[in-house]
Amino acid sequence: MRTPVDATTTSAWAELARLHDGLNVDFRSWFADDPGRAERFTLTAADLHVDLSKNYLTDEVRDALVRLAEQVGFAERREAMFTGERINTTENRSVLHTALRLPRDASLIVDGVDVVTGVHEVLDRMYAFADKVRSGEWVGITGKPITAVVNIGIGGSDLGPVMVYEALKPYKADGIECRFVSNIDPSDMFEKTHDLDPETVLFIVASKTFTTLETMTNARMAKNWLINSLLAKGVVQQDDGSRDEAVRRHFVAVSTALDKVAAFGIDPANAFGFWDWVGGRYSVDSAVGLADVIAIGPDAWRDFLDGFHAIDEHFRTTPIAENVPALMGLLNVWYDDFFDAQTHAVLPYAQYLHRFPAYLQQLTMESNGKRTRWDSGDVASQTGEVFWGEPGTNGQHAFYQLIHQGTKLIPADFLAVATPARALREGGTDVHALFLSNFFAQTAALAFGKTADEVRAEGTAEPVVNARVFPGNKPTTSILAPELSPRVLGELIALYEHITFTQGVVWGINSFDQWGVELGKKLALEIAPAVSGDDEVLARQDASTRGLIAYYRANRR
């Protein structure tokens, strides 16, 4: 892969700098003077209706952003990803999460192997297993069907499956509950298992290498809980054979390390693999989503994958000027590098998407929180943003004050669906319509604000007029969909995957490694003996760490 283009040296970057310096953002006049603005800057991607008109976007800015993408080689890099070139340079890997949702009749040859065939072999095994669990054919050690699935993973093996499960709860099968354990804090394992029936629980251990410290610690705790609980009920015996059979009936794995899976006690036939060209934060539509397939069923999962693929095709084939993920990614660069926006809010007006901002935190910040380019040279500009958010009106009563009247520029994406999964009324009021009235009002208020004269016209006393002024001109993107179906959820995830990719291309970084998570994990293993009482190891630590460990040891009961 060639050396990345330094975006700051391009003519498009210079043009954007000039446009930034001369830009007088005034949404009131922009919309008044240009009746076609909303229509011109509203685009469609699959089922998503995306209004970009309340952004710091003019025809000149859009055209300069498109030229920036062209000048940094965006189209070449995009095609390299889709065709399996090894664009993950630090790990010498292809980046093929898009292959996870290619249809069965597609073909993609990478290193002499048709990866689509392998993807569908795993999907077929997942679907067959999910059908067994859902139908009651798969039973626990005492012959009872499964009523609870506990997914044990961390990072991409947790955030994605949790988010999808919460988002698609209306599609969940009756009689099967899913829970998710990720934190190595033993409280997490306790809360997720203490009230379960060990005879009807199925654990999924999700770790590609089967060595992830947090995941394997939690997996061993889960195994101990299962065996001890079954022993207490008198349904297994103390002999190894009885215990081994219990593990085989109540544990499966998402992993390619079949030797380690077998050593743990899981039948390798019940291990579902994925590939080194799937990064953890891009893996929810792989075998990592097994718990979700059990919850919503194979047919809904196929719709989910179709949604991903629809956005993949839009992103790969649509000209940049109409390409929703590309334009949204370029707008994020515009705000980050030219307006010094440090954060980006994602505000779903759909309670079932309450974990979506947390999911995006890993996707975006682990991908683009980089200080080096893909050739290991230093970056030439700011990279990444802090992504955050909360659902709906909850956020309005928490942090919207800062967005509306604070001194920081915070671009925000508003997400909503036209038809809710649970349509309820309060008296004669359609509550979803009331809910979305807030969605529409907030984006309008952020864009157009309230002037001092408008405040005075309401009869406000002069000493507090300024405190009630809303400056407006706050940038937002509105994303609407017909409903929160499996297909639409797949579209939303793929949308942000490709937004993230676009930003990475402009910044010249490798969005697909995550070396920044390694150092703390390594140090934790080195420090652990000191925490457990090894004074020699404690003495090798810095003064602050020694003091903190000493406090812990003195106060641990």
Query: Does 404 participate in catalysis according to the annotation?
Result: no
Strands 42-45 and 48-51: what pairing? Answer: antiparallel
Angle, helix 115-135 to helix 298-317, in steps of 10 degrees: 150
Q: Which residues contact 495 (CB under 8 A, 6 or more apart)?
A: 45, 48, 311, 324, 325, 328, 479
Cα dihedral value 93, 94, 96, 102, nearest 10? -130
Do 341 and 104 meet the contact criterion of CB atoms below 8 Å apart?
Answer: no
Q: What angle do CA 41, 34, 23 make, to 5 degrees?
A: 80
d(CA 524, CA 446): 44
State yes or no: is 521 an active-site residue: yes
Ramachandran region, residue 314 (left: φ > 0; alpha: ψ -120 to 50; beta: rest): alpha
CA-nearest of 507, 208, 462 to 367 is 507
Q: Catalytic site residue 366? A: yes
Q: DSSP letter at 366?
A: I
**CA separation for the pair 279, 243 (Å, rounded):** 34
Q: How far is C-alpha 507 from the chain's CA centre?
A: 21
What lies within 8 Å, CB to CB, of 490 at 6+ separation is: 101, 285, 303, 304, 305, 306, 307, 308, 309, 310, 311
| Count of alpha carbons within 13 angstroms of residue 372, beta-carbon side | 11
CB neighbours of residue 336 within 10 Å: 23
The Cα–Cα gap between 172 and 128 comes to 17
Would you tell me how many other CB atoms lie within 10 Å of the CB of residue 142? 15
C-alpha dist (Å) from residue 515 to 216, 365, 366, 507: 21, 12, 9, 18
Question: CA-CA distance, 76 to 512, in Å (whole number)?
Answer: 17
Structure tokens at 99: 């292959």
Amino acid at 299: D
Catalytic site residue from 397, 408, 518, 526: 397
Annotated catalytic residue within 199, 214, 366, 385: 366
End-to-end CA distance of the chain: 55
Provide the token pair at 24.
């007088």
Residue 253's nearest CA partner among 198, 202, 314, 305 is 202
CB 495 within 8 A of CB 325: yes
CA distance 230 to 411: 52
**Structure tokens, 122:** 């795993």
- Strands 177-181 and 148-152: what pairing? parallel
Residues with catalytic roles: 366, 397, 521
